[in-house]
Amino acid sequence: MRNNDGLFAVGSPVTHWSVQTSNPVQYEIRACENLLDPENSTILEDASGSSGQRRFIVTDGVVDSLYGDRVRAYFDHHGVEHRVLVLNDGETHKSMNAVLQVTEALDAFGIDRRREPVIAIGGGVLMDIVGFAASLYRRSTPFIRIPTTLIGLVDAGVGAKTGVNHNGHKNRLGTYFPADRTLLDRSFLATLDARHISNGLAEILKIALIKDARLFDLLEQHGADLLRNKLQSPADVGPTPADVPVDQRLAARGLHLDPATEVVERAIQGMLEELQPNLWEKVLERVVDYGHTFSPTIEMHALPALLHGEAVAVDMALTTVMAERRGLVSSYQRDRVLEVMARLGLPVWHPLCTPEVLGDALRDTVRHRDGKQRLPLPVGIGSALFVNDVTDGELAAAAESLAALGSGVSR
């Protein structure tokens, strides 16, 4: 056997080679303010240190109607040649056709893939599409994410997964390909309607239920205000200097982190703590899969009636009831969870919670998780465990209980 830094050759003459290599990954997530201010150059900063003077931007129709003029004016102000590709928005357009639309436009633009990162400005669907296209184009093209929705800011924008729906299944095609940078500007949330704020709050609640009791308390105490104020910080916080984190600035003034900032920070920190050691999902027992066992099937069956976070909320409500029936959660804790969901504007039940749909969902999940259910269930509030023994009868009983409970919980 001959070894040359991870290349092993066996036999003489050689009859077998073994290659061992590594792919270290580093990406940046940065909280920012006023990204589209022409005097703010953050968007143009390239993590590679290069200074390519062209940019290809992908957005969707809704974002373009709200911010398109400002986006174009920003790049014009900096003298940067650019093209803006506007895709159809929404889960029903999250398809391979959209990915190919991006790659064909990249060809027409003639992008320099080393010096001109693609910029995705939009929600979770848009970022998943652009990330998938970037991972495929010339086998990898750097890209930057600028989420404009809450679900993009705390979930889709911070991980490594890309993907599109295919053959009636949620995210059936996709890759692991993190953006070089994700730039988080909460001011974009001010133009969202309440339903889309609720949509993102579901993913925040997920982190709270499986690992952060303090985050749950914040949602319980301030959820209605967060929804109403669209997670904007109080006006007296003022602008954040680029080099001073907001919590340090507030502490220096004898103030506490405002609830909106703390909620977003804890949600992102909690998500990244789970993703970082298992970015490629070699370990299939992932607590961040909580709320994502039954929701993909429910969401795809309900399209376009249910948003992603709404389907996740229904899944979490169902599994909270399952946990209560197993003695993992008290009835008091169960009721608190359902009441917080309602306070956040989230559904706690859906007519698709039938034994047939739930059974199909669980069987598809088992195929995805290498032959085991690996179903996360909450333990109290702020912890979780995995089970592999859920039966069709248990699902039916939990769904029946949830339907009765859901009728008494109003949004």
Note down the domain range covering 146: 28-191
* DSSP SS3 for 110: coil
Q: Is residue 13 part of a domain?
A: no
CATH number of the domain to which 298 belongs = 1.20.1090.10
Whether residue 211 lies in the annotated active site: no
Domain boundary among 277, 308, 340: 277
C-alpha span between 289 and 292 (Å, rounded) = 5
Q: Could you tell me the mean pLDDT of each successive run of 10 residues in the chain, 411 residues long?
A: 77 89 91 96 72 87 98 96 96 97 98 93 98 98 98 96 97 97 98 98 99 98 97 64 50 69 97 96 97 98 96 98 98 98 97 97 97 98 98 97 82 65
Q: Are residues 266 and 374 in the same domain?
A: no
Q: Are residues 251 and 313 in the same domain?
A: no
Q: Cis link prior to 304 (omega < 30° from 0)?
A: yes
Domain boundary among 191, 220, 245: 191
Look at residue 236 in the predicted model and tell me its pLDDT.
Answer: 39
Distances in Å between the Cα of 225 and the Cα atoms of 228, 313, 344 are 5, 19, 9
Do 160 and 23 meet the contact criterion of CB atoms below 8 Å apart?
A: no
Question: Among candidates 119, 100, 120, which has minimal Cα distance to 164?
Answer: 100
Q: Are residues 326 and 247 in the same domain?
A: no
C-alpha span between 123 and 85 (Å, rounded) = 15
Q: Is residue 105 part of a domain?
A: yes
Q: Which helix (H) or strand (E) holds 85?
A: strand 81-87
Q: Are residues 265 and 186 in the same domain?
A: no
Q: Which of 94, 161, 170, 206 is catalytic?
A: 161
Look at residue 368 in the predicted model and tell me its pLDDT.
Answer: 96
Q: Are residues 240 and 103 in the same domain?
A: no
Rg of the chain in Å (alpha carbons): 22
Look at residue 146 in the predicted model and tell me its pLDDT.
Answer: 98
Q: Are residues 175 and 231 in the same domain?
A: no
Q: Is residue 16 part of a domain?
A: no
What is the count of structural domains for the chain? Answer: 3
Q: Are residues 186 and 202 in the same domain?
A: no
C-alpha span between 232 and 264 (Å, rounded) = 10
Question: Among candidates 259, 288, 62, 60, which has minimal Cα distance to 155?
Answer: 288
Look at residue 51 in the predicted model and tell me its pLDDT.
Answer: 54
Domain boundary among 254, 277, 300: 277
Q: Are residues 205 and 260 in the same domain?
A: yes
Q: Are residues 127 and 219 in the same domain?
A: no
Q: Are residues 326 and 394 in the same domain?
A: yes
Number of H helices, E strands in the chain: 13, 13
